[in-house]
Amino acid sequence: MEFLSDYGLFLAKSVTIVLAVIAVVGGVAAVAARGKKHGEHGTVEVTHLNEELEEMKQALEEAVLDKDEMKALLKEEKKKEKEERKERKKKKKAHEEEPRRKRVCVLDFDGDIKASELEPLREEVSAVLTLAEKEDEIVIRLESGGGMVHSYGLAASQLERIKRKEIPLTVCVDQVAASGGYMMACLGDRLLAAPFAIVGSIGVIAQLPNFHRLLKKNDIDYEVLTAGEYKRTLTMFGQNTDKGRQKFIEELEDTHELFKDFVAEFRPQVDIDKVATGEVWFGKRAIDAKLVDELMTSDEYLTEACEEADVFIVRYEEKKSLQDKLSSFAVESGDGILSKWYNRLMKNRFISL
List the catalytic residues: 179, 231
Paired with 176 in beta bridges are: 198
122: Cβ contacts below 8 Å, ≥ 6 apart: 158
Q: List, as one string, the DSSP characters of 151-174.
A: HHHHHHHHHHHHHHTT--EEEEES
Nearest-angstrom CA–CA distance, 44 and 38 = 7
Q: Which helix (H) or strand (E) holds 128?
A: helix 118-129
For 106, list phi and psi in degrees, rounded to 5.
-110, 125
Report H helices in 34-95. 49-64, 67-93
Nearest-angstrom CA–CA distance, 229 and 87 = 76
Q: How far is CA 65 from the centre of its chain?
A: 37
Nearest-angstrom CA–CA distance, 168 and 305 = 14
For 346, list phi and psi in degrees, rounded to 5.
-90, 0
